[in-house]
Chains A and B, each alone.
Chain A
Amino acid sequence: MIEINKSKTKTSCYHCGDFCDENEILIAEKSFCCNGCKNVFVLLTDNNLTSYYTIEKTPGKSLKQNIGNKFAYLDDPNIQTKIIDYIDAKIARLQFKIPNIHCSSCIYLLENLYKINEGVVAVRVNFLKKNASIVYDINKISLRQLVELLANIGYEPSFNMSDIDSVKPLNPNRKLLFQIGVAGFCFGNIMLVSFPEYFGLDNTTKHYLSPAFGYINLALSIPTFLYSGQDYLIGAFKGLRKKLITIDVPLALGLVVLFIRNFYEILSHTGLGYCDTLAGLIFFLLIGKWFQQKTYDSLSFERDYKSYFPISVVTINNDKTTTIAIDKLKIGDRILIRNNEIIPTDSILLKGKANIDFSFVSGEKEPIAKELGEIIFAGGKQTSGNIELEVKKLTEQSYLTQLWNNDIFAKENNSKVETFQTKVSKYFTFALLAIALSAAVFWAVYDTSKIIHAFTSVLIIACPCALALSSPFALGNAMRNLGRNKFYLKSASVVENIANMNTIVFDKTGTITQSNDSKISFVGDALSEFEKELIFSVTQNSIHPLSKQIAHFLNMNSAIILNDFKEITGKGIQANVAGNNILVGSASFLNIKEEENSLLNTRIYIKINQENKGCFVINHTYRAGLKHVISNLSNKFSLHLLSGDNELEKTYLQTIFPSKSELLFKQNPSDKLLYINTLQGNKNKVMMVGDGLNDAGALKAANVGISLSEDTASFSPSSDVIMDAANFEYLPYYLQYCKNTMKVIYVSFVLSLMYNLIGLSYAVSGTLSPVIAAILMPISSVTVIGFTSISTYLLARKMK
């Protein structure tokens, strides 16, 4: 067999880096893969913006798709007011979410947009959030023109229902930063004022400086306690009302005791008070909190169906087309859906050839053909030309969106596991109170003057600062390290949830298989157009998935009518097309010696009029390293597979999955949800790995939902983790890393307990002084922070 030499000098597009095929365009000695890319280059060259290509190589995105009048709906004033933040007679300001922002060249180009169109006044990009805030002159450029300009240079803003409905929240980190600022300010100044006392003042200065310093300290500790420390006090209060003892309770107890004792000691001139300990404690705690609160701005973990649907649809009224917002659709409206558009709501097919791809909704990967008059459910994607539909239900009531009415979506944080920290703090608080009381009882017998001192000292010194810091730092570090490996957690506490799992449920389509269909190649002499048409006509008539893939790959416009067609199950197809005898099928069926046999791909051979033409190589679309992932995970977890697809691949999957795992097929979204609930009912901690809307319920119901995404900027259903699909093979390592992180927390917990014991020995003996507290508290905190940071870092290096 003759293999085409694949390394034939292919040039890559100067703009987007894709390989240029026969449509290659040459301009200024640079090659472009398509007209779109060339146009961008010309536009940028004309406007002196060629630095775009020098900052990063091939920074563009391929522009093979045509825009058409896709953005016509932006001329609608109702939609405009939803998008525009501010408008006056001259200018308008708005924010676009632009998923394509991916490199520094993007920032350069977008911020220099004013050079291309003088209507643009200013653009400012926020790279991490992938958004651009734009000010433009409404007299020179319309919203639609602006969006089309962006789309033409490859930066199409994304609009969807949820973006428009939602109110943009302010950065919640700000309050925390203010609190840290205030605590840091007070902490620093209290330390400054306390030092002279610790080092000893001579008798003359002591007389008037000591009380003054005391009052200054006291004054500084009030804002620290009331403003910076308020979250701990409120948290503890709320917890107690729900009869929950969280880590906030012993912390708040320590803080309150510290605060009262400071007042007493300083106002009664009996001591120095522990103002520095109080401020330091709050300062360190807040730093820990800040560290844990890392969020991924560019990712959204709370998406529902609204972000999947477009915001507008074309309606047809007396042969006139208008674009309206989806929430304005009424039952009975006639809508036009173009190729590759999503059906916004349940409707009836009136005109056109409907071939709907429901893979994202149901997991079924073959497009489904629909007859005129049939109902088409919302969420499918039309794949064969324009169709006209009549709306039967409003979007919020459609079949797909009803899944969101399940109770699962109403509850928050359902069935999450009790964290290690809360478990410990319960025992910790009781032990703490017991020790404090016994110390008080002991001194009541021996030396009544020390009762209060010993009792409060215990509560102060045992304040679990180091304990409260170990979790945030270890989890926060773990989250960052995983994020560097494109495994994005919703919050740091997910690390702990992952470490507790014992069952993993996989979705099939899109999760363990890849969703793109570009895995077909033809090996042999290049086929003529006529031969392609012949093969297309034959394969198009078969319902076998492999034939469908070949037909899709060839994608011809016309098919020739077959004279004779015979499909032999498991072997191939024999057909007669316009006098040509055609055989399509396995090597044995065609009597050809197969050269290599691999489990990774299937070869479909072609014979036309008894002449061997070559074969189509269809690579199995299973993700790289699937076998390795499954065998690695099967030691530690019980594995399950839920597929919306049919059972065709069951036999192959059985060879990969261990024999005891359940493989279920033809599961609809609510089946999956119920299955997860059943598993949880049997006291399993379930992790769900899925990708599409069909998994949305299961992902939400599972203790941990991981959604796999080919492109983390695009839609992914609401989940706890968003994972880059390209790194799927490393999943076992990520899970192991989470478990190891928990071990780090256990060790650091022991470490902080040891510090507590040292402190307690002073406290119960009634000899605790402010100096010891002031030394012990920061030292224990720093040790714990240092230990957790270094060990999580080392573990992360091991992971790679």
Chain B
Amino acid sequence: MFILIGCSFILAIGFLVAFIWMVKSGQIDDDYTPSVRILFDDGTLPEKKDL
């Protein structure tokens, strides 16, 4: 019983740490640009090879 509670806590603390890490790394600072960026092609247009 106590082991299960302990496990759930460790899991929850893991999420908390992940959240703090996320905020610190600046992922929530800009919530618009990445949504556009993902739509761009890599830019390296496939070179037409003569087959």
Contacts and interface: CB of A to CB of B under 8 A. Distances in A.
Interface of A: 48-49, 51, 55, 104, 107-108, 111-112, 115, 125-129, 171, 174, 177-178, 181-182, 185, 188-189, 192-193, 209, 212, 216
A51 B19 contact: no
Nearest to A171: B29
Interface string B17-39: 00110011010111111001101
B51 interface: no
A383 to B, nearest CB: 38
B7 interface: no
A128 B5 CA distance: 43
Nearest to B24: A174
Contacts of A48: 43, 45
B33 A107 contact: yes
Nearest to B8: A192
A129 B30 contact: yes
Contact of B33 (A127, A177, A192): A127
A178 B33 contact: no
Contacts of A112: 43
Among B1, B12, B13, B23, chain A packs the most CB atoms within 10 A around the CB of B23
Given A51-B40, A171-B29, 9 more contacts: A55-B40, A125-B33, A126-B33, A128-B32, A185-B13, A185-B15, A192-B8, A212-B2, A216-B5
Nearest to A177: B23
B12 A189 contact: yes
A104 B19 CA distance: 29
Sort A-B residue pairs by CB-CB distance and give the 5 closest, nearest first: A127-B33, A104-B36, A185-B16, A181-B19, A126-B30
B50 interface: no
B30 A107 contact: no
A111 B37 CA distance: 9
A126 B2 CA distance: 47
Interface of B: 1-2, 5, 8-9, 12-13, 15-16, 19-20, 23-24, 26, 28-33, 36-37, 39-41, 43, 45
Contacts of B20: 178, 181
Contacts of A55: 39-40
B7 to A, nearest CB: 12
Nearest to A111: B37
A171 B36 CA distance: 22
A contact face: mostly helix, strand, loop, or mixed: helix
A107 B40 CA distance: 10
A107 B43 contact: no
8 contacts: A51-B41, A108-B40, A127-B30, A127-B36, A171-B29, A174-B24, A178-B20, A185-B13
Nearest to A103: B36
A108 to B, nearest CB: 5
A429 to B, nearest CB: 34
Contacts of A125: 33
Contact of B39 (A104, A174, A181): A104
A106 to B, nearest CB: 9
Contact of B36 (A107, A181, A189): A107
A115 B20 CA distance: 36
Given A127-B30, A127-B33, A177-B28, A188 B40 contact: no
A174 B25 CA distance: 11
B34 to A, nearest CB: 9
A174 B33 contact: no
A178 B12 contact: no
Contacts of B24: 174
B43 A115 contact: yes
Contacts of B5: 193, 216
B17 to A, nearest CB: 10
B9 A189 contact: yes
A124 to B, nearest CB: 8
Given A174-B23, A177-B23, A181-B20, A127 B32 contact: yes
A177 B25 CA distance: 13
B28 A49 contact: no
A105 B12 CA distance: 41
A171 B30 CA distance: 11
A25 B20 CA distance: 55
Contacts of B32: 127-128
Contacts of A174: 23-24
Contacts of A212: 2
A104 B37 CA distance: 8
A754 B30 CA distance: 40
A181 B23 CA distance: 10
